């Protein structure tokens, strides 16, 4: 029995997941922190804090400390990591855990250092970083160590990572800070422009989940959306259809499509031929958008396959890499 816990953490813009080696998924919480404005004390983290978004009085501030896949607020992220570690290891843990965290493949040295420092300050014995697309591919059981091309597109809340992987490393990649959150923003902007109604981020996300589709669907659906009138400031409700939401989210989807095309254009021909044979793997919560695989296949003429548990592939891969450090040590950074 190992004395030191080994934790793989997917520190996402929308949700943070913790996977303990030997046990599996042990924590899945929204990446939200509520803070007291007066003394900067953390009042709530995760699900409890998410319920406060858009509903706080002036003396409480609820925020997302991660933005576009990287740390936007260092101190709040550190407090959140400490909360997660204490929840897993107990409040007074004697043996500090080994932790591996995934980061977008295109992050700067400064952003990498911020993640490592925050992890160490939160209570880690040793901290490692791994590129998010590589972690997603490992978690999806893609044979990343073989000398053949494998392409994965990981779409989370804050960023889309498209990468070609061969021989245990990332060959070409592009990172786009457009994913689930920007799709929610597009829904909110459309409702404001077309229906004159203002909605919060949670309502926009709910509309996306219930009605969102990457292509026009034969099955017609609608729902009532409640918010505030953009002109008069009074309560207002409107009926919105799934075709409208498909139109609303077309902009962000075209940006994601352009990034995938950009990676393929920069990939060596031998690896492209492997990708055409195998198809492209989709992971991350945004890959759950209806008909996204169909939309991408129609525009790129390559098969797209969504992994079985798209929201867990990154955290699974992070934990697997930590468990098998001898196989992946060249692809990780350490502190």
**Domain annotation for the chain: domains and CATH numbers:** 6-134+314-334 (3.30.420.40), 143-178+251-310 (3.30.420.40), 180-249 (3.90.640.10)
- Structure-block tokens of residue 160: 């889309």
Amino acid 1: pLDDT: 44
pLDDT for the residue 3: 67
pLDDT computed for residue 105 by the predictor: 81
* Predicted local distance difference test score (pLDDT) of residue 275: 96
pLDDT tens, per residue, the chain with 335 residues:
456 789 999 988 889 999 999 999 999 999 999 999 888 888 999 899 988 888 889 899 888 888 877 788 888 888 889 888 888 887 666 788 999 999 888 788 888 888 899 899 988 999 999 999 999 999 999 999 899 999 999 999 888 999 999 998 899 999 998 999 999 999 999 999 999 999 998 899 999 999 999 999 989 999 999 999 999 999 999 999 999 999 999 999 999 999 999 999 999 999 999 999 999 999 999 999 999 999 999 999 999 999 999 999 999 999 999 999 888 888 888 87
pLDDT at 89: 81
**Residue 103 has what pLDDT?**
86
DSSP letter string, 154-212 = EE-SS-EEEEEEETTEEEEEEEES-SHHHHHHHHHHHHHHHH-EE--HHHHHHHHHHH-
Cα torsion through 135, 139, 143, 146, rounded to 10: 20
Rounded Cα gap, residues 144 and 138, in angstroms: 7
Query: What is the reported pTM?
Result: 0.89
């Amino acid at each position: 029995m190992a004395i030191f816990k080994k934790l793989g953490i997917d520190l996402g813009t929308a949700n943070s997941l913790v996977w303990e080696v030997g046990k599996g998924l042990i924590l899945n919480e929204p990446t939200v922190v509520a803070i007291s404005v007066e003394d900067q004390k953390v009042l709530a983290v995760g699900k409890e804090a998410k319920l406060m978004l858009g509903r706080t009085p002036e003396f409480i501030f609820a925020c997302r400390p991660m933005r576009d896949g990287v740390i936007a607020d260092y101190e709040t992220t550190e407090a959140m990591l400490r909360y997660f570690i204490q929840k897993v290891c107990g409040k007074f843990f004697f043996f500090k855990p080994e932790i591996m965290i995934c980061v977008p493949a295109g992050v700067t040295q400064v952003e990498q250092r911020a993640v490592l420092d925050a992890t160490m300050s939160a209570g880690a014995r040793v901290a490692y970083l791994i590129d998010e697309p590589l972690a997603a591919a490992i978690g999806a059981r893609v044979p990343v160590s073989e000398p053949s091309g494998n392409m994965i597109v990981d779409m989370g809340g804050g960023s889309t990572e498209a990468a070609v992987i061969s021989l245990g490393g990332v060959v070409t990649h592009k990172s786009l800070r457009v994913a689930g959150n920007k799709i929610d923003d597009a829904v909110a902007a459309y409702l404001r422009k077309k229906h004159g109604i203002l909605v919060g981020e949670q309502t926009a996300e709910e509309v996306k989940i219930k009605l969102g589709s990457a292509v026009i669907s034969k099955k017609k659906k609608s729902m009532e959306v409640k918010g505030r009138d953009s002109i008069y400031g009074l309560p207002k409700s409107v009926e919105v259809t799934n075709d409208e939401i498909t139109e609303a989210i077309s902009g962000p989807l075209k940006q994601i499509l352009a990034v995938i095309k950009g990676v393929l254009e920069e990939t060596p021909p031998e690896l492209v031929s492997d990708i055409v044979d195998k198809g492209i793997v989709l992971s991350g919560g945004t890959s759950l958008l209806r008909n996204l695989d169909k939309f991408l296949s129609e525009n790129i003429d390559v098969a797209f396959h969504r992994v079985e548990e798209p929201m867990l592939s990154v955290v699974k891969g992070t934990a697997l890499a930590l468990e098998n450090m001898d196989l992946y040590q060249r692809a990780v950074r350490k502190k």
